Structure 1
Amino acid sequence: MSILYRSDAARAPAWVRYFAEHAPDLDFRVWPDAGDLDEVEYLIAWQAPADFIAQLPRLKVFFSSGAGVDHVDFSAIPAHVPIVRMVEPGIIDGMVEYVSLCVLALHRDFFDYLQAKAARSWAPLKVLPASARTIGVMGMGSLGSAVLQRLASYGFDLRGWNRSRRELPGVESFAGAEQLQPFLAGCDVLICLLPLTPATRGILNRELFSRLPAGAALINVGRGSHLVDADLLEALDSGQLSRAILDVTEPEPLPVEHPFWAHPRVFLTPHVASMTQPESAAPILLENLRRHQRGEPLEDAIDRSRGY
């Protein structure tokens, strides 16, 4: 039984070591040393080019090497082949760390103090308790729920919005299009952790920003295509939004001439908020593969009709 890894080459050796030690019965291959593609039954990959998938006639499961699957061309993968997204502790922990850093930096006016330092200005700002800030998370899946649970430990007032209602202790829950406006109305910091689907593409736009309290901040760790760039710049320049922290952009890398680079109230990182960690991902994926071999349902298989 053959498994082909076709993702980040730098992480491939860790995958090879784990499968060699824990699943010596499996033929683990790394692209481009793939051997006979007719033998490949499981694929671990970031993307699924149609011409490549067509060369895998025995493919049984497509394992995405990332938490999102919006980059995957569903039409290229036969309908009978499950698509499984990566949900593993390394991805979750990385996202929790990054979002916590961003929220705390905004809460404690870190970016204001950076500007003050550049101006050599000693200008203390009033310190507010965490309970005085309301943090809202759009997307209460595995990542969003973990972020909310960590932020709760700091004492922030928390609310979450999801397509369908999900309840978390200490979090005010909102669901569906009819509850989006009341959700937004109370958010001092808005965090986007939505999956990218046709319904969520461009959701971070002028209308949404107008529903937030004046001076709110945005953290986008979803996908760059969630955001309408021109609308964000307008909201920042008008004061409707105070700051934006963007880990994702469209396109990536962001072109050097893009106005985000020079805008004083935009902070950018190059899609590094969360990454798959082979040491924690390989055991999760292997157990899922064994479930499939035993005829049991796969964990974290996506619903193609929803896109996640």
Structure 2
Amino acid sequence: MVLNVLFAARDGLWPDYEAHLPAAFAKAGLDVNLQRDHAPEDVDYIIFAPHDGLTDFTPFTRAKAVLSLWAGVESIIVNETLTQPLTRMVNPGLTRGMVEWVTGHVLRHHLGMDRQILNQDGTWTPVVPPLAEDRKVTVLGLGALGAACATALTGLGFDVTGWSRSRKAIDGAQCLSGDAGMDDALRGAEIVVLLLPDTAATENALNTKSLALLAKGAFVVNPGRGPLIDDDALLAALDSGQVAHATLDVFRVEPLPAEHPFWAHPSVTVTPHIAAETRPKTAAIEIAANIARSERGEAMLHLVDRNTGY
């Protein structure tokens, strides 16, 4: 049976996915008619990333699922017309990208690389960092991305504590859970990596109270979601020296407005939401495999729970 699959995302994404999806579908044993303009009533599956074109899912009465190209789905699940099952993107390329970005910036702060790069005035000032085993790193959020980053950091020898809403286990890391567990995970942390989902329960996870739990001069690394941080509280912590530096990849408003104080602050690094970009080649394989599961009558992977928001 031929499956009608609609690709509904911004124009710039189409050429790369058009180059990879057909081969992925064929390898998965699927006969697919992939288009950008199927009649809604004929569509079996929708590959989706939010854009100005598709905002009403009501006409897609035959669609069995909507497969998001993004790991984060908080801007999708608020659409009341979306009644079809929704999957989020989890794939090796996205995970590897996040692990590389996180480990790079954690090592940057651990080794004091900024100080060495900026100190080029002829002054010989050797400052030896501690070994990784003596550096306390906390990872908030132990989903697929957080768990992969925590695993990589333990592999480098860091003293890693992870926190998640539900209990998890990661070899070599201390894993905490529950409301009280977050405070325990943050207490004394020298580097904090934020990889929580964006939900009502996680908004402002880093605020005045929680930032005060960190070790004096700690580093904050946020490739997760902008609303996880109270911006004003972080700026105050940076100005007081409670936080030495914040490396931020995600923001409440994107692109980050030119007038936002993060741009000008000497202790903030802004990166333009690049920590874990979905790679079309690996994403296509994941999408095809998930549709194949559905067609075999198996439960699709990475289905979003509307109650938890992820």
What's the TM-score, normalizing by structure 1?
0.93
- 8-17 or 223-232, which deviates more: 8-17
For 1:201-280, list aligned pairs within 5 A.
201-280=203-282
For 1:22-41, list aligned pairs within 5 A.
22-23=25-26, 25-30=31-36, 34-41=37-44
**Partner SS for 2:212:** helix
Report the Cα distance in structure 1 between the residues aligned to 2:19 and 2:289, rounded to whole angstroms: 16
Are 1:52 and 2:56 an aligned pair? yes
| Residue 113 (structure 1) aligns with | 116
Structure 2, unmatched stretches of 5+, are none
Report the Cα distance in structure 2 between the residues aligned to 1:232 and 1:60, rounded to whole angstroms: 43
Q: CA deviation at 1:52?
A: 2.8
Name the amino acid aligned to 1:164: S
| Residue 286 (structure 1) aligns with | 288
The root-mean-square deviation of aligned C-alpha atoms, in Å, is 1.7
**Partner SS for 2:108:** helix
Are 1:71 and 2:75 an aligned pair? yes
Report the Cα distance in structure 2 between the residues aligned to 1:51 and 1:100, rounded to whole angstroms: 37
Q: CA deviation at 1:16?
A: 2.1
Q: CA deviation at 1:178?
A: 1.4
**Partner SS for 1:26:** strand
> Which of 22, 26, 48 in structure 2 is aligned with 1:20?
22
Name the amino acid aligned to 2:199: T
- 15-24 or 120-129, which deviates more: 15-24
For 1:38-187, list aligned pairs within 5 A.
38-47=41-50, 51-79=55-83, 81-117=84-120, 121-187=123-189
**Partner SS for 1:170:** coil
Q: CA deviation at 1:114?
A: 3.1
- Judged with a 3 Å threshold, the aligned counterparts in structure 2 of structure 1 residues 52 and 219 are, in CA distance, closer, same or farther, namely same
Report the Cα distance in structure 2 between the residues aligned to 1:123 and 1:259, rounded to whole angstroms: 31
Q: Contact 1:19/1:26 (CA < 8 Å) preserved in 2?
A: no
Report the Cα distance in structure 2 between the residues aligned to 1:35 and 1:170, rounded to whole angstroms: 49
- Judged with a 3 Å threshold, the aligned counterparts in structure 2 of structure 1 residues 113 and 273 are, in CA distance, closer, same or farther, namely same
- 181-190 or 92-101, which deviates more: 181-190
Q: CA deviation at 1:120?
A: 5.2
**Partner SS for 1:111:** helix
Report the Cα distance in structure 1 between the residues aligned to 2:236 and 2:205, rounded to whole angstroms: 15
Report the Cα distance in structure 2 between the residues aligned to 1:264 and 1:57, rounded to whole angstroms: 52
Q: CA deviation at 1:78?
A: 4.1
Q: Contact 1:216/1:240 (CA < 8 Å) preserved in 2?
A: yes
Q: Contact 1:135/1:188 (CA < 8 Å) preserved in 2?
A: yes
Q: CA deviation at 1:125?
A: 1.1
Q: Contact 1:161/1:174 (CA < 8 Å) preserved in 2?
A: yes
| Residue 5 (structure 2) aligns with | 3
**C-alpha deviations, 1:265-308, integer Å up to 9, x for none?**
10010000011111111111111101111211011101111101
Q: CA deviation at 1:133?
A: 0.3
Report the Cα distance in structure 2 between the residues aligned to 1:165 and 1:19, rounded to whole angstroms: 36
